[in-house]
Each structure stands twice: as C-alpha cells, then as structure tokens.
Chains A and B, each alone.
Chain A
C-alpha cells in the first residue's frame, strides 16, 4: 500500500533502481548477513487510518483525569499555570519545530536569536551573567551543575540539602557515580535546611553546596546565611536550584553570590504533560562561561557588519572535545525554551512579579482556609506557593476520593519519607479561584473524615 508519508511511486522506484544498477531494492540490503536478517513481520499493531487512530488515541487520552477535567492542587515541581494563547501559536510555526540545531547560521537566525533572547531572560530572572540554551530539565541541570563543580574545584565532596526535590536528589546520585563523587545529605529542620549540620560538614574538600530556593516544601531558604557561611570556603561553589517564577518576587540567587543557578522553566508556558518535555535552565558566572554544558548562542556580525547570532564556544562540547568533554549533552529542549521565552515576553517586567504575587497571596489564603477548617499545617516560615497539610489518612486514599469529586489533590509526602506519612503538599497557583479553594478545603475535610 502506498503510505501518505512515502512519495515514491512504482515508476519512480523502477527508474531509480535502473540508475543505481540493481533489479530490486532487496539487492541494496544484500550486505546484511542472512544470519542476522529479520524475516518475519514485526509484532506490533497494524497501521490505522488517520481518522481511526485519532479516535482511538483521543479515547485513550480521555481515560486520564487532567487539569481541564479536574481542578488541580498538585505541584511538587510541576505546576499548572496560565499559558498565554500565543505560546502554542508560536511554537506551532513549523519553521521552528521542524528545524534541527542551528548549525547553519545564515538560515537559522530565527532559532538562534530566539535562544539568545531566552539566555538573556534567564540571566535577568536569576541575576546571573551567563545562561545556556537549555538543559533536559531542572533535575538533570542540577546534576550537571554538581559534576561541573567537582571538575572545576577538583574536589569530590558535595553537600546536598535534603529539602531539594527528591527526584533531583536521585538524579544527582546517578550522575555523580560516573565521577565517583561523595554526596553528603544535609537534613532539614522545620522545613528548612539544617544550617548547623551544613556548617559542620563544610570543609576544604567540599566542591559545592546545593540548595533549593524556594525548597521542595515551598519554604524560602535563607541564602544570605549560606553565602556568609561560604565566605570561609572561597573555593566551594554555591549551587542553587530555583523555580524561576518565584524569582519574580524573591531576590535572585545571583545577588547572594551563587556560582550556578539551575531550574526548570516549565512554569513559563509549558504544559505539565506528565512530567516532560519541560525545560531545564543553567545559569552561571562569566568565570565559568567556558565550562558550561550544552549549547550557547553568541552575538556577532556578518561580513557586511550586520548583527547576527551563532552557536559559539563550541570547543566545550562533545562533538569537538569527544572523550575530553565534561558533559555529553547534545539535543536539548530548544522548542520548550522558545515556549518559555514567549511566555516570559508576554508577562514582561511587570507580569512576572504580578504573577508571582498572585501565587503567594492565593496560597496564603488557602493555607489560612485549611487552618480555619481545623487542619494542622506545617512550618511558619516565609514560603512561595506551596504548603503542607497534615491528614488523618494516607494521602492517596484522600486523593482517590477527591478525584471522584473533580479534584486532583496534592502531593503525597509519604512517598519520600515515613516521617511525612499522611502529609499533603498543596500547590496553589494564580489559576485557582477563591471559590475553587474554598470548595477544595471543604472536600479535603470530607474525605479526611
């Protein structure tokens, strides 16, 4: 059968085989030894027509509850936010999404400039001097930052706050194995990294300190105190993982002397889509510019003196350095970086702060509403848009009931630690209305018994 993605007709094939000088396409595969030939038919489902496949997969998708069918209070690193309509219209321009890495700058100025603008926006958000074109996600960006710190300082010990995202912690361990790093976990107390323990573990063998700001529990870590602590260990690097939306309100890590700031720009224009693809960002200082993993776009001029953009400092990267490279990243998340650029552009200088403050105000309203309904909440320190509520039942049990009522409940902290059994991490973003919050508090109350 002639497939719609394959244009060759029987006549084309005949003509082409004649030019090649063979009788059949089969002859072109004669170099594959008989012993390794696959003679049967692949045991996968048969092809479906466009209409039938759309119908089947739409029905499959409808089996899932999602943030349009349900009202969601789930965050824990992935959030439902306002996505300006223009975002999807821009990334649906096929000149962007059907292109590859901009290796030929003359016909890739669109992508190159879009990345240059993204790099600028990430610098602005984080208060850092240099940002790359994107990483896979916030978790792997953090793990790469840890590896970079070890390579740069020639030290093997890394102090990692246990208040970072638990899956980022897992990824750090996996990535660190290749370089045989020693990961020391720093406990948390009352929702914040235990600075006393951090201080006692910090020594001249420490490559870096890793903190999340705001942390996994939504609490704002005192970066100023970490900065002060590191004054005695000048070589130890400060690595901060940040939700960039929170930096619309909070002082950016760059102002606390961070050496590397990473995170995920999913909060800007990228749907939750089951956890990926999202978009890691990686920002650092000029000093570390030539050590940054991944692609960098730089401004230059063409032969006529016109401004233009190119991939630059490529001597850092795997395709030049090969086995001397310190990161193997090649493909990144360019299209999602574009989505985030459009969203950040739409929000602009005023909108990011307004949106951050909306999150904070609505989250505070929700926290107080839970308290007023008799729930115990944890931690009283400054927070962003997430807080913890203690339940009488396993969180998953409550969440199953909430699903029946049209709600996607919060994150089950008991997944990561027994001491947080029956504790729900609740995220409230700008898209939740007062009415939704009030009703949610009521439904959680009923499910909790």
Chain B
C-alpha cells in the first residue's frame, strides 16, 4: 500500500509573522519592563515556538488525531489496561465551570459543591473496596502504590519495626510494583507462581519472615486468574506481622462479587482511569485513590475531606501521623469528577453488571481462541486471560508479528510479552462495553492470522501493511536519541 510522505511537525509549518492568538489588550499604562531588570535576566531570544494561524493548528492536530487509535476508533483489548468505553457525560460534567474553573485555594465556603462530590466519592470507593477510608490525592496507579507502601512503612516504624524492609511481589506483577517498593525505600522480593498461574503458597511461606513489610498482590492477578487461596495468603503474611497491599488494576473483574477489604487486604489503590472510565488520555492523566483499614487510616496523606456535624465539608489536616503530602493540592480532581459521574451513572446494580459482563466476555473469547492458540492456564478466567504464541512461533511467526498483523484489521493488539512468566504472551482484556459481534470479529481475525502463520508466514512477519508508517527502527531511536525537533539551518 502506498505510504504518505513525511508528515510535518508543527515547527515546519511556521512562518515568521503568523499568529494563532489574540490576547487581551494592554489597558493599563505601558512601561519599560527592562528598566527593572539587569540585562542578564532579560531573555535575549524568544523561545522558538511555531508561528502558525489558527486553522493551521486545527488542521495539524486533527490530522495527528487521525494517525491515532483510541477506544472510539476501534476495539482495544489491551490486557491489564481496561480500555473500556469513556462515557461522554463524564466529559461534559468535568467541564462545567463550577468544577473546571475553581481554584484550590478558594475559601472552603466557596467550594462546598466540589468538597461534597469528593466526600461522596471517598465514601463510595470505601464501600466498593470494603476499606475504612480513602484518599483521592494520588495522581495515578503507580503513585497510589507508593503512597500505600509509604503508609505501611510509617505504620511499621510507629510500632518500632524498623527491620521490616522487604516487600514481596509475585513474578507476574506489573513493573510498577517492584519499582514502587524501591522508591518507598524497601527491598523487593519475588514470590513465584505455580503451574496453575497462582502464587505458590510454599514459596510464599519461604519468603515471608520477620522482615516482611508487605505483600503486593493483584487479584485477579495479571494472568486474569483469581487467587483462590487469598485467605491463606493473608494469614501467612499477617501472622508474620506484614500487611497486604491490593493493586486495584484489575478491580473491573470483581465489583459487587467480592471486595479487597473482605479478602484481608490492608491497603488498596484504584485506577480510576481504568475501572471507572477516567479516560486514559493517551497515557494520562489518571487518578489513583488509596483505601486503607482503620489501623492504617492515621497515616493517610493530608488533607482528607471531612464533614462537620453542621453539614459543611472541610479540608481535614488534623492527622498528626500522616505520611504528609504526596502531591500539591487535592489530586486529579477533574478525573475524580469523571469517575464519580460514572459511579452515579451505574449504581450498585450497574457496577455488578460491569464485572459480570467483563468476565463473561473474557471467558467467551478465551474459549474460542484456545481452539487456535495455546492457553497455558485453562481454568475460568476473570476479566482477562493470557495466551501463548508458542505454536505460531514454531512457524517463525512471533507474538510481535501477530500483534502487528492485527493492526491491519483495525484493532489495537493485546498486551504482549507480559506477564513475564508466559512465553510469547498475549494478554487479552475485552471489557464489558464490547458487543459480542466485536468479540467474534476479533477472534476470527486472530484465527485468520494463525492460519496465515501456517500458510503464508511472510504476510504476518511483514505486517502491518495498511498503517501510516511501517515498523519503526527502535534500535536507532535508542542508540542515537533525537528527542526534540531541530531546524535544518
């Protein structure tokens, strides 16, 4: 297929003297600012930003958007990312001036509506997760993990347990888990999975000891499997004095069926941009609220939103044991408004239906796809499942090739080569918002690609054939990094 020529970067459209703005007039006296500053503090050369007209900007970014695939463009079964539909009412509500144009330092009396929303969101998330209290301050999942671990650290230190320096992480865990442990000052220790894809209880007993600060767990785990022995695991960790951390990346599978608090978890973070329709924004902003048990509540970051007996809401800074502030202001409020709108659109029944249908969709796809692809773990899955491309690999077609070929069908591929404990992994998460027809079409495409791997492997190996660019030279990108635009002259 014909490829287009190099697509211009905005700087290449620039012509001296063009304008894309109209600022308010200077209606006060004009003064010579330069008299106030010594020369070395006055910028000599303006930053080389583009000079373009408003229509040129609009065309440029509209064209860029057509070179991008979002959930609204097509199916996006990216495992562990919960790429579900992002409701449009969420966007409308977040843009109401009473939410989008308020300032974090206004008097409390002038932001009671915003505080009421945050208070009810804290309460709703506490209920959904079965936790005692929730902070909305964390900006994203990874920051939520780190916040939770810092609270666990503060808890152990308050008990004089300074020797608890180890955080246990399953080998199937997302990379942020061990990274968050390190950044919180802990040492990450790996616990192995067994041949059913679940945490190996014997190995857990081996790694848990008096130095254990916490076990971090996703349940269902990154293979999409529910850790059935969660209560035994909780007991092993709690008996040794450690605490249980729940990575809420996969909460979409269990809402209304079970709650992290009921499973024995002490800390939970949620990804509001996943389960609660954030949206993902091309990589962010997200929001990663953290819930804790009563025992850990004193360590929550400041401030929380509380309610006086008289009915007013206020910023509650009265937490002397708090780990402190983890972010300026009060979290990604705009994302929290979207998540709250979603929760209120769904209600308790709706949220349970979300999980029911997310699990139904995943199991349906899994059973159809196991006819053609290796399924390493055959029990029912929850909201996602992991296939192995090792049969296709025998024919010289790697999982990367399968992923690239899927692009020709208009799909975003599943997560690939993750989790690390499955060879040639393909991690599929359909979500509840996709219709059966979409699932069937995707499965048919996967089967066709597998057939191509047998009959015409080059077609898969050389994919994609229809995208605006071909496979990129990533090696050169990393060896000789070009991280900004330079003018040719």
* B182 adjacent to A408 (CB under 8 Å): no
Cβ contact within 8 Å between A106 and B68: no
Question: Which residue of B is nearest A91, CB measured?
Answer: B281
B98/A63 in contact, CB under 8 A: yes
The answer to whether B284 touches A171, judged by C-beta atoms less than 8 angstroms apart, is no
- From 182 to 233 in chain A, residues with beta carbon under 8 angstroms from any chain B beta carbon are 220, 222-224
Q: Tell me if A114 counts as interface (CB < 8 A to partner B).
A: yes
A392 in the interface, Cβ–Cβ < 8 Å? no
Query: Cβ of A382 and Cβ of B41 under 8 Å apart?
Result: yes
B332 located at the interface, meaning its Cβ lies under 8 Å from any Cβ of chain A in the complex: yes
Q: Which of B7, B283, B471 contacts A100 (CB 8 A)?
A: B283
B78 engages A8 (CB within 8 Å): no
- Residue B311, interface by CB 8 Å: no
| Interface stretch of the complex, out of B200-208, B389-397, B427-435, B448-456 | B427-435
| A95 with B346, Cβ < 8 A, contacts A7-B435, A331-B141, A403-B110 known | no
The answer to whether the Cβ of A35 comes within 8 Å of any Cβ in the partner chain is yes
A–B pairs, 28, beta carbons within 8 Å: A5-B346, A8-B436, A19-B364, A19-B367, A42-B128, A64-B102, A65-B102, A67-B97, A84-B20, A111-B68, A178-B185, A249-B43, A276-B329, A312-B483, A318-B175, A322-B179, A323-B181, A332-B284, A333-B139, A335-B281, A335-B285, A345-B52, A348-B19, A348-B21, A350-B19, A351-B20, A430-B24, A433-B24
Return the contact of A108 from the options B68, B98, B130 (Cβ within 8 A). B68
Any A CB within 8 A of the CB of B307: no
Contact with A along B237-257 (1 / 0, CB 8 A): 000000000000000001111
How near does chain B come to A178, taking the closest CB pair, in angstroms? 4
Partner of B330, one of A47, A276, A309, A329: A276
A351 touches B37 (CB 8 A): no
> In the complex, A297→B481 CA distance in Å?
9
What A residues does B228 contact at CB under 8 A? 31-33
The reply to whether A349 and B51 contact each other, CB–CB distance below 8 Å, is yes
Most B CB contacts (10 A, CB to CB) among A171, A349, A396 go to A349
Q: State whether B33 touches A64 (Cβ < 8 A).
A: no
B306 to chain A, nearest CB (A): 17
Contact between chains at A62 and B285 (CB < 8 Å): no
Residues of chain A within 8 A (CB-CB) of B3 are: 304, 306
CB distance from B216 to the nearest CB of A (A): 11
B421 CB-CB contact with A under 8 Å: no
Q: Residues of B contacting A331 with CB < 8 Å?
A: 139-142, 271, 273, 280, 283-286
| Known contacts A96-B282, A110-B66, A358-B26; A25/B107 CB under 8 A | no
Whether A74 lies near B258 (C-beta < 8 A) is no
Say if the beta carbon of B158 comes within 8 Å of chain A.
Answer: no
Whether A319 touches B175, Cβ cut-off 8 Å, given contacts A44-B347, A61-B99, A89-B58, is yes
B436–A431 contact, CB under 8 A? no
Q: Determine whether A375 belongs to the interface, using a CB cutoff of 8 Å to chain B.
A: no
* Interface contact A276-B334, CB-CB below 8 Å: yes
Q: Does the CB pair B258–A276 fall under 8 Å?
A: no
* A334 proximal to B (CB < 8 A): yes
Minimum Cβ distance to chain B for residue A427 (Å) = 10
Assembled-state Cα–Cα distance A172/B418 (Å): 33
Interface pair A396/B477, CB less than 8 Å apart: no
Q: Can you list the 9 inter-chain pairs with the closest CB atoms, starting with the nearest? A: A275-B329, A61-B98, A47-B347, A110-B68, A335-B281, A275-B104, A63-B113, A98-B70, A277-B285
A93 to B117, CA, bound (A): 27
Q: Are A6 and B284 within 8 A (Cβ)? A: no
**Cβ of B484: which chain A residues have Cβ within 8 Å of it?**
116, 119-120, 123, 129-131
Within 8 A of B (CB), among A342-384: 342, 344-355, 357-358, 360-362, 364-365, 382
| A72 in contact (CB, < 8 A) | yes
Chain B positions within 8 Å of A113 at CB level = 7, 9, 64, 67
Q: Are B334 and A277 in contact (CB under 8 A)?
A: yes
> Per-position contact with A for B106-134: 1 when CB-CB < 8 Å, else 0?
11011111101100100110011010000
Contact (Cβ within 8 A) B259 A57 = no
Q: Do A322 and B188 touch across chains, with their CB atoms under 8 A apart? A: yes
How many residue pairs at the A-B interface have CB separations less than 8 Å?
A: 707
CA distance A351 to B404 in the complex (A): 42
Given contacts A47-B346, A328-B179, are A16 and B21 in contact (CB under 8 A)?
A: no
Query: Would B350 and A47 count as touching, CB distance under 8 A?
Result: yes
Rounded to whole angstroms, the CA-CA distance of A218 and B84 in the bound complex is 44
CA distance in complex: A328, B86 (Å): 26
A57 touches B93 (CB 8 A): yes
Residue of chain B at shortest CB distance from A125: B47
Verify if B470 is at the interface (C-beta below 8 Å from A).
yes
State whether A64 touches B20 (Cβ < 8 A).
no
Q: CB-defined interface of A25-56 with B at 8 Å, one 1/0 digit per residue? A: 10111111101111001111111101001101
Cβ contacts B28-59/A at 8 Å (1 or 0 each): 11110100110011111011111110100110
Known: A38-B130, A68-B101. 9 other contacts (CB 8 A): A20-B360, A57-B96, A63-B116, A107-B67, A136-B140, A277-B332, A300-B472, A358-B23, A412-B105
- Cβ-defined partner of A304 (8 Å) among B95, B470, B485: B470
Return A304 CB to nearest CB of chain B, in Å. 6
Q: Which residues of A sit under 8 angstroms from B163, Cβ to Cβ? A: none
Q: Are A302 and B367 in contact (CB under 8 A)?
A: no
* Interface residues as binary, B167-196 with A (CB distance below 8 Å gives 1, 0 otherwise): 001000011101111111101100000000
